[in-house]
Amino acid sequence: MKQPQKFFCTCVFACAQFLGQHAFAGEVQAEPTTSPAPAAAPQSAQEQSAKDQAMQQVRAELENTERRWYGLMRVRYSNSQLLSVGFGALFVEQPKSENCATGCMLHGWQFAVEPGLYGLQGSVGWGRLAGETGQLKHFIPTVYYAWAFRGVVLRTWGDSRPIEPGQTFAGIEASFSILRMNFAAGVMHSLSSHSPDEWLYSGSVGWGF
C-alpha cells in the first residue's frame, strides 16, 4: 500500500507545481510592459535667473544700438573708366556711445556711384573698414584699412578705347584699401547681345575707399 500512496502524492505535487507556474505567468503578462515617464524636474531658481539676466542684456544692447551711415569717397585711375570719382555710403549698426572721431571699426552694406571720363559705374556690396571721421560727423576721409566685395554695373560712354562706348557690363569687384591707398580688381560680362567686348577685366589704383 505504500507504493500507491507514494505515487498519488507525487502526482498531486506535480499538478500543484504546474498550476502554480501558469498562475504566475498570467500575473506577469497582466502587468503593464511600459513604465510611466518620470515627471520633468522643476526648473531651478538659479537657471531662471540666468535666463532673465541674458534676456535683459540682449534688450539693453538693442536699446543702446542705432543705425548710422557714413559717407565715403574714392578717386582712382582704371582701365575701364580712365579717371573717375566715386561717392558712396556705408550703412552700419553701432552703439550709441561709440564715436568715430578718433577711430572705429565698421562693417555693413555699401552703396556707391562713380562717374568717370569713359563711363558710369554703380555698385552695391558688403564691406568692413577701420577709419576715423575727425571733425566730420558722417564722413570718413581717413581710411586705415578696408575691404569690400561688390556687385557692379558699368555703362560706357565717350571714346572709351579699347572698350567700345554705349555698352553695359555687370559683374563683381573686390576692393582693398590700406593707409588711404585703394586697389581694386573686377570681372564683368557684357549685357549687350551684339557687343564686341564680351568680357571686361578691370583694375585700378587710387585714393579712398
Tell me how far apart the alpha carbons of residues 186 and 151 are, in angstroms, rounded to a whole number. Answer: 9
Per this entry, what is the length of the chain?
209
Please tell me whether residue 131 adopts helix, strand or coil conformation: strand
- Domain range list for the chain: 1-31, 66-208
Tell me how far apart the alpha carbons of residues 65 and 107 are, in angstroms, rounded to a whole number. Answer: 14
Kindly state the cell numbers that stand for 23.
498562475
Tell me how far apart the alpha carbons of residues 59 and 181 are, in angstroms, rounded to a whole number. Answer: 40
Residue 51's pLDDT is 75
Residue 1's pLDDT is 45
Please tell me whether residue 59 adopts helix, strand or coil conformation: helix
Tell me how far apart the alpha carbons of residues 21 and 10 are, in angstroms, rounded to a whole number. Answer: 17
pTM: 0.68
Residue 165's pLDDT is 87
Tens place of pLDDT per residue across the chain (209 aa): 445 455 555 555 555 555 455 444 444 444 444 555 555 555 677 877 777 777 776 666 667 899 999 999 999 999 999 999 999 999 999 998 888 999 999 999 999 999 999 999 999 999 999 999 999 989 999 999 999 999 999 999 987 567 888 899 999 999 999 999 999 999 999 998 777 788 999 999 999 99
